[in-house]
A and B are shown apart, each in its own frame.
Chain A
C-alpha cells in the first residue's frame, strides 16, 4: 500500500516553497505578469530563477549524476501543490516534470545533456505535444526529412517561454529543436488560462537532433507523469479556493450575520472540504505510485485525474459564487484560479478520458 502521508522533509520543502511564493508571487504580481507585453515572455523569469537556480527544484526528478537532486515524484508533487496554490506563472509542470520525464525515457548522451540543462533551470524545455492529450492517446507529429523537421503543432503549453522543444516526428523518433534556431516559429495564442499559455509551433526545414527512436514510449511517460502530478496542482488550487472562501464568508456580513453562518453556505463549504480531503489522498497515491515505479501507476494516475480535475473546477466555481459580486471582478484573483482549474480539467486528458482508460485497466469494459 502506498505511503499517503507527507514526510518531515516534504513538509520542510513545502514551507520553503510557500515562503518564497508568499514573497514573490502574490496575486497582484501574477496578474501584472499576465498583462505584461508579449516581448517579455509569458513566465515570471525572476521567480523561475529563484525556484530553480536558488532552490534546485527543476532537478528533483533528475538523477544526481546528471546534475539533478535525485528526489522523487513525491517531492515534485509537493512543489506543484504550492505552485497551484499560488497559480504561479512558471513552466514547472511542463519543463521540470513532463519534458524531464520524456527525456528520462530516451537514454543516450543527447538526452543526458539536455536533462542536465533542464535540471539547472537555465534551460526551459517543453514536450511538443498538445496540452489536451491524454497519456496513451494519439498525438500530432511532424514530417522528418533529411535531418530536418517540417510541419505545424498546436496547443503546446509554455512553448513561448521554452528554449528547447522535444518534437515527435512521423518516423517514430523524438527530436530536440532549439526555439531560437532557423526554421522554427513559435506563435503565442491567447489562452483561457493566463498563467499557462499555449502556442503553435511551425517547422520549416528546422535542423533537429534525434533523442530516441521510440517517441511513443517517451511521450507516454511524460504525459503520464504530467497527468499524475497535475492532481497535486489541482489540490493546491482547490485548497486555496476553499481557504479563501471560508475566510471571506466569515467576514462578509449580510442580513446582520456573517454569511458563513447560513446553513446553505456551510453545507456547500463542508462538501467542498470533503472533496479536497479525497483529492489529497488520490494525489498522494498517484505521486507515491510513480515514485515507487509501482505496477499500479497507470491506475493511480488515471484515478487521480478522474477525481481531482472536477474537484478543482468545482472549488473555483464555488469560490466565485460565494464571493458574490467581487468574485466577478478582474481585480479579485479568483478568476485566475477558475481559468487555471478549467484549463487543467482538459490538460493531459479530461476526466472522461481517464475514466475510459480505467475501464480498460481495471477490466470494466464498455458494452
Chain B
C-alpha cells in the first residue's frame, strides 16, 4: 500500500517535470491525472494509485505550497462529486477511460438530468422515456428535466429515464450518459427568485443515446442512482472550515463593524445562531476526522439538514440587522453564473438563495424520513405505490 512518503515523492517528481510557473494550466492538470495524483484513491490509470482516500490531503498540501493550478472543483462539482463515483462504480472499462480524465481536468463539465416537473422528492416517479430502437440499438429519449445546474455549460449529463412503464416505479428505470450537444437537447434558463438563472429546464426530444453510453444494466437505474445521490449528500462535511467560515461570518463582521445596527433582540438571536453555527462546524469536523480514521459515521445524513436551516436563519437575521439597507437588493438583472454560490453577493441574495438549501439535493422533509428510517431504524410509512406498475400510478 502506498504511504504518505511515497505520495510526497511522486508529487515532487510531478512538480519537477512540470514546473507550475512555466507549464500551461491544462497540461499540468493532465500530467497530474496521468501521474495518479488527481484522486489518489482511484485505480491506477484512472487518475489514482489505489491509495487510502485520506492521503489526498498530503498531495493537495504539496501542490498548494508549490502554487500548482487546481482543477476548480467548484466549477465541475457535479462531475467530481456525482458523475465520477457513479462512472467508477458502474461504468465499463471503456467508459471509465473515455470520461474520467476530461471530467477531472475540467475540459468537460457535467450536469445531472434527474429531477422532473412531476418527480422531485418522489424522484422514482420520473416519466422521461427511453425507448430502444430495434434497428440501431440506440435509445431514443423524450421528456423534460428541471432544476438542472450547469446544463448551459455542460458537455455531458448523467440521465435517468424510464425504460419499462409496466414495472413498479423503482424497477423500470435505466441510467445513461447523455451528450448535451445532441440536437434534441434544448436548454432553457430557469430564472429563480434571486433574479439569476443558475438552473435550467432541459427538454429532450428524440435524443439518441447509444447503448454504449448506458451505465449499469437495463432496469437497474435506480440502484445506480443511489450511488449518485449518496455522494451528493455526503459531499458536504468533508472540508475543514475555520470558525465563522460559513454564513455567520459576514453577519458577525457587520455586528463588529457597525455598532449602530445593534439591538438587544438581535444580539440574543445572533448569539444563539453563532453557537449553532460553531457547533455545526464542529460536527462537520468530527465527521471529517471519522472519515480520515476510516470510520465513516451516519452524521453526514444530518449535516445537510442542519446547514439548510442554519443558512436560512442566519441570512434572515442578516437582512434584518441591516435595517434600511436590508430593504434594498444589489441587482435583479438576470445572469447565468457558472458557479453555484450560496455565500457570494450580498445579504438579500444570501437570504433568497438559501431558501433552496432545504429543497435541492433532497428536501429536508425527505431527509428527515431517511434519518428516521435508516439511522434510527423506525418503521417505514405504509406504501401504496410499491407494487403498482408506473403507468397505473395516479398523476
Contact = CB atoms under 8 A, between A and B. Distances in A.
Contacts of B262: 365-367
B279 A246 contact: no
Contacts of A4: 282, 285-286, 289
A232 interface: no
B272 interface: yes
Interface residues of B, number: 45
B264 A367 contact: yes
Contact of A267 (B276, B283, B372): B372
A281 B372 contact: no
Interface stretch (A148-156, A210-218, A356-364): A356-364
Interface stretch (B4-12, B173-181, B363-371): B363-371
Interface in B251-298: 252, 255-256, 259, 262-264, 267-268, 270-272, 274-276, 278-280, 282-283, 285-286, 289-290, 293, 295
Interface in A309-348: none
Given A1-B240, A266-B369, A270-B371, A366 B267 contact: yes
Interface stretch (B26-34, B42-50, B74-82, B374-382): B374-382
A69 B306 CA distance: 39
Given A303-B279, A366-B262, A1 B285 contact: yes
B302 interface: yes
Nearest to A276: B302
Nearest to B242: A1
A263 B121 CA distance: 15
B299 interface: yes
A249 B379 CA distance: 9
A365 B260 CA distance: 12
B373 interface: yes
B103 interface: no
A367 B262 CA distance: 5
B374 to A, nearest CB: 10
A305 B194 CA distance: 38
A5 interface: yes
A122 interface: no
A contacts with B: majority SS:
helix
Contacts of B305: 274
A356 B274 CA distance: 12
A83 interface: no
Contact of B381 (A250, A263, A270, A278): A263
A284 B283 CA distance: 10
Nearest to A263: B381
Interface string A242-267: 00001001100000011011110111
B368 A270 contact: yes
Contacts of B282: 4, 278, 281-282, 285
Contacts of B255: 364
Nearest to B244: A362
A320 to B, nearest CB: 18
A282 B372 CA distance: 23
B209 to A, nearest CB: 38
Contacts of A282: 279, 282
A279 B299 CA distance: 12
B308 to A, nearest CB: 11
B286 A246 contact: no
Contacts of B283: 277-278, 280-281
Contacts of B302: 270, 273-274, 277
B264 to A, nearest CB: 6
Contacts of A367: 259, 262-264, 267
Contacts of A273: 302, 371, 375-376
Contacts of A263: 369, 381
B381 A3 contact: no
B372 A355 contact: no
A307 interface: yes
A226 B117 CA distance: 54
A306 interface: yes
Nearest to A359: B271
A266 B271 CA distance: 29
Contacts of A365: 256, 259, 262
A301 interface: no
Contacts of B259: 365, 367
B114 to A, nearest CB: 24
* Residue among B282, B286, B302 having the largest count of chain A Cβ atoms under 10 Å: B282
A250 B379 contact: yes
A270 B372 CA distance: 5
A270 B270 contact: no
Nearest to A363: B256
Given A1-B285, A281-B283, A269 B271 contact: no
A25 to B, nearest CB: 25
Interface of B: 240, 252, 255-256, 259, 262-264, 267-268, 270-272, 274-276, 278-280, 282-283, 285-286, 289-290, 293, 295, 299, 302, 305-306, 365, 368-369, 371-373, 375-382
7 contacts: A4-B282, A4-B285, A249-B378, A257-B379, A261-B381, A266-B368, A274-B305
